Structure 1
Amino acid sequence: MSDRKKHVVIFADYYLPGYKAGGPIRSLSALVTSLQDQYQFTIITRNHDFGELTPYQIIPNTGHRSSEATIYYLDKTKRNFFFYYQLLKKLAPDVVYLNSFFSFRFSLLPLLSTKFLNRKNILILLAPRGEFSPGALAIKSIKKKIYLSILKWFYRQMTFHATGEDEAHYIRQYFNKASLRIATNQFYSAYLEKIKTSIKQPGNLKIIYLSRITKKKNLIGVLRLLTQYPLPVSLDIYGPLEDEAYWKNCQKLIQNLSDSIKINYLGSVDPQFVGEKFSQYDVFLFLTHGENFGHVILEALAAGCPVLLSQATPWKNLEQNGAGWCYHEEDFAAITAKLKELVAYDQAQYQQLINNAKAYAKQYTCLSSNLLNENLFKNS
């Protein structure tokens, strides 16, 4: 019996050392780290970070070996069917793992290239990364509906990777006969044992928003809430400006905020400092339109920062674990009532929330190690 590891070739628009594309990069990295002993990994990605034109200081279009995978950082000249076809022919993968449905360069073209290899024993696995959630599909909805209607037949025999039952449900709405594999995202955190550095002062609340500045993440919802219900709070905003027009609308709302609200935009945060940032705040306010996982939510909890979320995430049992709260994103009255309650808390009251948040993240970390399906890439 052969001891050869099965070869998994991963296509993703962005990968390490990039970080501005958010959770999918960290989820992919954790998956590769956790399964490197079982599988051989090759990753094919862009040679620059999300929203950047400056390439990495890495020689493009050739394989770079890390401790966990071989990585090809492609420039514009190589992100095409012909290069993919020749590369896949050389790599001879057992599995081709796509990490988007709507990415033309890193999903559709690799899919076509794999089909043209005419090798029936290759498993083609697609992780839509939340792209079929109602909140995600509502953005540029006409364009996405056209794309779906044209290509739905082509993906009809696809095997999909869902990270939970919610995402599986959304996938089945469009591909009801699709083969589905459910495996949770893996999560590693160096912040679980860190001491909470924020000291809660009664009569004030330090709020953090940390995510991409884009319609889907709904920073405007947070600002509208604070415009309609002024509170003695501070709000620090972190994240790359993905949508400049959207950010201008945010700035208009910021100008209308009460003087009782202190607000700052503090740019992007390198992933290695995310936990440290979260540990400096009292609550992570995130009224997102949709997350299939929400890596940043777990990072906040791991750092001991309670979370106040919309209902459009898979994190439904936060309140019963004393680690946070979920509300409909438009239920401003209920959200404001909770924020007022938190404003009044002192450090002694807040310490239990901090402990619960860390315990919840630690519990998930232990479970995810067991639940990450090592059979995800088995093609039989």
Structure 2
Amino acid sequence: MLISPITYNDTNRLKGMAILLIILHNFYHALPQASIENEFLFNIENTNYYVSSIINSVSSISITSLFTDFFSFFGHYGVALFIFLSGYGLTVKYSSKEFSLSEKIHFIWKRILRFWKVIIPLIPLSVLVNSIKHGSGLWQTLITHLGEYLSVITFTQTLIPGKEFVISGPWWFFGAILQLYIIYIFLLHKRSNRFLLIIGIFALLIQTLTIFLGWENTLFRLRYNCIGWLPVFCLGIYCAQKPFITCKPLVSITLMALFLCSNINAYFWLFSSLLFPFAFIPLFRNLPVKSFWKFMGSISFYLFAIHSFIRGGFLELIGKQKIVEQNLELPIGILYMLISILTAYIFQQILNYASDKLSKFK
């Protein structure tokens, strides 16, 4: 294979890199004139606009624009890296374990509780933010958005048209990854590589068919749910089950070039999430300042859960247009990143402290 064995420390650092890609992407793609990504749908105009932005940035020697447009267009691939690592990690941890039905249910329940650990404490914050934003009372805000809060708590928001981004835009991921956990424990656990290949190809074929038939709405729905992410999830499981060889630098660079070019065609784009782990991991797994990336990995779960609230505060208080007009993208983006990291760390410590206290009463 193209990736040598991924250790626990590797995984933690790679998660730290993935979350940085995601939080910067979510900030920069919200700004006016930003390069729009091909994440849930493919549009060649998005690619053309990004290429034009690169040409303009190079000709005007604008390092800031190169930086912001890169994260805006490519940063969402941090999600694909997370999902690949999830499939890989589950296999390493559970490939030799047998599960009874009750143990499979407990496996899913543990992950639901872990998600609730960060979601439920943040719902009151969402109620408060919406109350201030719309000038309504807390109770009225809660009642008005009750269906949205329930869809998030029950992880069904990705199944309801128009509810994918409710409460916190990135939270669609919780519903999608929970679906993948269910599929793993009930369908993919301890299955052969041939079976994984069949499942992955089946998921790709469904998406390919929607592109061929022009069913954009269907493809949009699939990529908010497990079908859209099954290929890269199965790839992670497959890589954990196969013997490995270290990838040569030239091969990694070639794969990175292929990945960067994958947004030129709708069908090629479907394979971009599969190319990304193979291109990214060998090139960046040994990135310097390992202690920083390890720290980022340790708070990545909390940072993912809370960063959209920080982003919303920055964009509302400063103003999207003002950030662009005054060329503040880089300093404001860095400040947003630092405050998000600090807030996530504090959030993690508070929740861990609360969990310790509650465990003493059991």
Please indicate the TM-score interval, normalised by the length of the shorter structure. Answer: under 0.3
Between Structure 1 and Structure 2, which shows a larger proportion of helix residues?
2
Larger relative contact order, structure 1 or 2 (CA cutoff 8 Å, min sep 6): 2
TM-score (norm 1): 0.24
